[in-house]
Amino acid sequence: MEWFKKIADLIVKLLIPVVIITLLLGMVRLFVDFGHILGSTPLSTGFDMMVTNILSMFVVVELLRSVIDYFEYHRLKITFITDAALVFILREIMIGIYQHKISPAEIGALAGLLLAIGAIRTLAIIFSPDRRKD
């Protein structure tokens, strides 16, 4: 079992530079897209690209936080995973509503998914192994 921990630690250590490079590339993409907005791209299309890119960056930041937190606890905390899922779902809802490409049924389904993941996150906090027993 000790070898499994060592391999898992190695994989997570390799993930950190990959995620940081992804964040840097995401920032470069934001600036490149901003240049396109100022150039020939219609303002509404460019704004759509910027909103999508910025919201995608939030998802990557949540994942990075989860990977870095692994080193402190040597386990993945369900709260950080659910936070990343919540950010991703909210991103999809916001993009869909903004671009008028999401139906009311899809919004309802995603709202139910948000409720379920929110409930899982709440239960993870209530029954956390880190929480002291009084």
SS3 content of the chain, % helix, strand, coil (to 5): 85, 0, 15
Q: What is the pLDDT of residues 65-113, one digit of tens each?
A: 877 877 777 777 788 788 888 888 888 888 888 778 889 899 899 999 9
CA 8 to CA 27: how far, in whole Å? 29
CA 62 to CA 64: how far, in whole Å? 5
Residue 134 within a domain = no
pLDDT at 117 over 90: yes
Residue 75 within a domain = yes
Residue 131 within a domain = no
Residue 132 within a domain = no
Q: What is the pLDDT of residues 52-77, one digit of tens each?
A: 788 788 878 877 887 787 777 777 77
Query: For residue 7, with 0-12 CB atoms within 10 Å meaning exposed, 13-18 middle and 19 or more buried, which class applies?
Result: exposed
Q: What does the pLDDT read at residue 53?
A: 82
Q: Which domain holds residue 116?
A: 2-126
What six digits make up the tokens of 62?
A: 């949540």
Q: How many structural domains is the chain composed of?
A: 1
Residue 20 within a domain = yes
Helix (H, G, I), strand (E, B) or coil at 76: coil
- Eight-state DSSP code of residue 132: P
Q: What does the pLDDT read at residue 119?
A: 94
Q: What does the pLDDT read at residue 9?
A: 83
Provide the b/e sequence for 14-39 (b: ≥16 CB within 10 Å): ebeeebeebeeebeeebeebeeebee
Kindly report the pTM of this predicted structure: 0.65
Inter-residue contact 71 to 60 (CB < 8 Å): no
